[in-house]
Structure 1
Amino acid sequence: MQSNRQVVVTGFGALTPVGNDRESTWQALLAGKSGIAPITAFDATGLPTTIAGEVKGFDPSALLDRKRERRSARFSQLAVAAAREAVADASLTVGGEGVDAGRVGVVLNNAVAGMDGIERAVDQMHADPRTISPYFVSSVIPNMPACEVAIDLGVRGPVTASALACASGVYALLEARRLILSGEADVVLAGGTDSAITRVMFQGLSNMGALSKRNDEPERASRPFDADRDGFVFGEGAVVCVLESAEHAAARGARAYAEVAGGALTSDAFHVSAPDPSGAGAVSAMRQALERTGTAASDVDYICAHGTSTRINDLTESKAIREVYGNSAYDLLVSSPKSMVGHLIGAAGALSAMVAALAIRDGVVPPTINLDQPGEECDLDYVPHTARKADVRAAAVNAFGFGGQNCVAVLRAV
């Protein structure tokens, strides 16, 4: 069901493997720059995969006082940094003139919570239990990034977190939109964060066969839709968007990047990690997203794809796009930021939403790098190697998570 009210994005903040703010990330993506490199977070010697998409040069002590730094995990620290940038970009002061703190919310999702802190605490438990921080439990639970952002900015409205694996970041925008349209909030900070580059995580994903083993060519390891793709590259990061009703944004003179027109969430009900090869769940999510937003397939100019660089996902996503968009599928531009940053897990969808909004703003679509030879049944225009100028009036964002969770959002020019 459509609403006549508009929800718009007025600010972005980002920390990614290619930049520690919104614009440096965007310019790196347009330039086709890869942020994949050998792991520095821990000694990866002996692991099948020794590369990752890490946020570089982030110093939490420059952001937080010593007490707050010690009590918080990295996924929360990244989220706070991204949220501060987002509200600054939106020229928004929570509790300031025209912005009631009780009418501001946070929807900040993640997929794996504080895995790094858990792994560290297990080591401490074996060595000396007394060294485990009294803030250990509160730092690693999944709602903490949202709560840390609320504490940092003085947000007193609805604050929530959901875990939808790799679909978490896109769903955050849809839930934020729902809070605004229901009248529970005027402004919502929405997005995703994750930081779980740990030895156990990499060993587990390697045992699953999910990760690329192209360790000798890190920058070429993530290759969505390419015939030689061999798995995804694990990454970390945080992206936060400021969403508000169009009326609220106009009343305070804020500029809007794009409208979050709506979307859909479906389930494959198929497997804990593999997508349904028929693509039925993805097809349903894409179709419902278009229907609910009143968007014709021929109106969509760009799809920011899930595009993980795994054999099954890229094939299934391509098939699903063809089924939903029909003949229009071959007129679409489709690209995957994961070719440059890897898979940011809970933050991946939020980054894709930012990419879609900035593509609308600037009239340019970032490339899919490392796409030398399209894989079997991957026959769409994936914008290989080089960014392309395009008049993007409507963009769809695809996100598909473990457990078969499919989330699609539609953004439109305002």
Structure 2
Amino acid sequence: MSRDVVITGYGLVSSAGEGVDAALDVLRGGARPRLDETSFAPYPVHPASAIELDRQIPKKSDQRQMEPWQRLGVYAAGLALDHAGAKDDAALKARMHLIVAAGGGERDYAVDGQILTRIREAADPGVFLNERLMSDVRPTLFLAQLSNLLAGNISIVHGVTGASRTFMGEESAGVDALRVARARIASGQNDIVLVGGSYNAERPDSLLIYAMGGFLWQGPFSPVFERPQAGGGFILGSGGAFVVLESREHAQGRGARALASLSAVASTRTRREPGAVASSLQALWREAGVARPDLVVSGATGVAMPTSEERDALQGLARDVVPLAIGDAMGHTIEMQAPAGVALAAALIARDEASEAAVTAIGHWRGEGVVRLTRA
């Protein structure tokens, strides 16, 4: 059994603002990307835009108990439900499944700072670290950081109470969340799924980790595909992106408009040897059945090797198509990069500005994915 899977709603919040139009305005040169170059200098970030949380998270108590990445995700999920015409249908949401791509929660910066300071003087750093993790990181604090709390808060606030799953694993989490959601609907296991993710870039701990790995861009803004020539690196961005996926029959049955078809999601994970990203992208392109796309939405990071190989491969795979690098508008949003790309592609297809789109998600370290969308 293989049913058509369509997108009936999307919700996006990013540094560019609320909705796909704000991001597209930046991508098309109508507005400048929003950047905070001082708070975490020398590393710029694309900060979260100001949103009226009450519109999608009515209870102040719910807002207070969430961390920033959860608020962004819950808000974007509400936008997607609104757009799909599902927000006020309690029975529909009770059987709607939920798949979230998310990383860990916020850190206790005071504890992290103490450990990083004192571990330098420890006689046995490994023993010291284990002792501190056992005594300083409280179980209650750890529970507050669980990545599946985003799914829990979406269920509480929006009433999406079908089965839920949370995927972790950086960029690949977003790709596989879409892949599994699509596969379950196509196979007849589910009729409707809410899928997406969120990310808070304004976190010293995240910036520290990626800086230690040599992945962050330093200095003034530069377009994603131009960064490899200057050493490469990504600029983290805050935001949330969700899409509502349904079988075509289910959408027709409830009178929902199919904005685009989610025709295929292909993913893999290769060792990053020279040429591996290009070969992987070419293989995924074929697996996803991408034919003659008139739109390419790229989740390229800006990291030198994978970004340069993706740029060169796309010149052969999608001739005469200039890729839209979503990092230019909203930064690199890790787990939500693929859902954000799908939301933007679906919007352009729904407006008849494209008939076939390919969305790429090439991880900064590991993981590659290609999503194919077509007219519904």
Q: TM-score range by the shorter chain?
A: 0.7 to 0.9
Please, which of 153, 159, 172 is the counterpart of residue 154 of structure 1?
159
| Matched AA of 1:263 | V
Please, which of 305, 322, 340 is the counterpart of residue 329 of structure 2?
340
Q: Cα–Cα, structure 1 residues 278 and 13, in superposed 2: closer, same or farther, change >3 Å?
A: closer
1:210 equivalenced with 2:212 (yes/no): no
Deviation of 1:50 (Å):
3.3
Deviation of 1:61 (Å):
6.5
The whole-number CA distance in structure 2 between the counterparts of 1:39 and 1:139 is: 30
| Matched AA of 1:362 | R
- Once the two structures are overlaid, the 10-residue window that deviates more, 116-125 or 278-287, is 116-125
Equivalent residue for 1:190? 195
Q: Contact 1:258–1:413 at 8 Å: present in 2 too?
A: yes
Q: Cα–Cα, structure 1 residues 195 and 133, in superposed 2: closer, same or farther, change >3 Å?
A: farther
Deviation of 1:209 (Å):
2.3
1:80 equivalenced with 2:74 (yes/no): yes
1:176 equivalenced with 2:181 (yes/no): yes
Q: Contact 1:9–1:257 at 8 Å: present in 2 too?
A: yes
Deviation of 1:79 (Å):
0.9
1:301 equivalenced with 2:306 (yes/no): no
CA-based RMSD of the aligned residues comes to 3.0
The whole-number CA distance in structure 2 between the counterparts of 1:120 and 1:254 is: 49
1:317 equivalenced with 2:310 (yes/no): yes
**Could you report, residue by residue, the CA deviation over 1:109-147 in whole angstroms, capped at 9, with x for unpaired residues?**
02x321x33436646999xxxx99986333321111122
| Matched AA of 1:142 | S
Please, which of 91, 100, 104 is the counterpart of residue 113 of structure 1?
104
The whole-number CA distance in structure 2 between the counterparts of 1:206 and 1:347 is: 20
Q: Cα–Cα, structure 1 residues 264 and 16, in superposed 2: closer, same or farther, change >3 Å?
A: same
Deviation of 1:281 (Å):
2.5
Q: Secondary structure at the match of 1:202?
A: helix
| Matched AA of 1:303 | V
Aligned residues: 357
Q: Contact 1:53–1:341 at 8 Å: present in 2 too?
A: yes
The whole-number CA distance in structure 2 between the counterparts of 1:313 and 1:82 is: 29
Q: Secondary structure at the match of 1:235?
A: coil
Q: Secondary structure at the match of 2:296?
A: strand
| Matched AA of 1:410 | R
**Could you report, residue by residue, the CA deviation over 1:145-174 in whole angstroms, capped at 9, with x for unpaired residues?**
122112222223220111231233233222
Deviation of 1:250 (Å):
0.8
Q: Cα–Cα, structure 1 residues 113 and 59, in superposed 2: closer, same or farther, change >3 Å?
A: farther
Equivalent residue for 1:383? none
| Matched AA of 1:165 | E
The whole-number CA distance in structure 1 between the counterparts of 2:29 and 2:347 is: 14
Equivalent residue for 1:233? 235
1:285 equivalenced with 2:290 (yes/no): no
Q: Contact 2:78–2:87 at 8 Å: present in 1 too?
A: no
* Structure 1 portions without partners, runs of 5+: 365-391
* Structure 2 portions without partners, runs of 5+: 117-135
Equivalent residue for 1:93? 87
Equivalent residue for 1:396? 358
Equivalent residue for 2:7? 9
1:54 equivalenced with 2:47 (yes/no): yes
Q: Cα–Cα, structure 1 residues 135 and 341, in superposed 2: closer, same or farther, change >3 Å?
A: same
The whole-number CA distance in structure 2 between the counterparts of 1:124 and 1:206 is: 19
Q: Cα–Cα, structure 1 residues 82 and 393, in superposed 2: closer, same or farther, change >3 Å?
A: same
Q: Contact 2:4–2:263 at 8 Å: present in 1 too?
A: yes
The whole-number CA distance in structure 1 between the counterparts of 2:149 and 2:23 is: 25
The whole-number CA distance in structure 2 between the counterparts of 1:361 and 1:148 is: 30
Q: Cα–Cα, structure 1 residues 117 and 351, in superposed 2: closer, same or farther, change >3 Å?
A: same
Deviation of 1:193 (Å):
0.9
Q: Contact 1:266–1:284 at 8 Å: present in 2 too?
A: no
Q: Contact 2:6–2:262 at 8 Å: present in 1 too?
A: yes
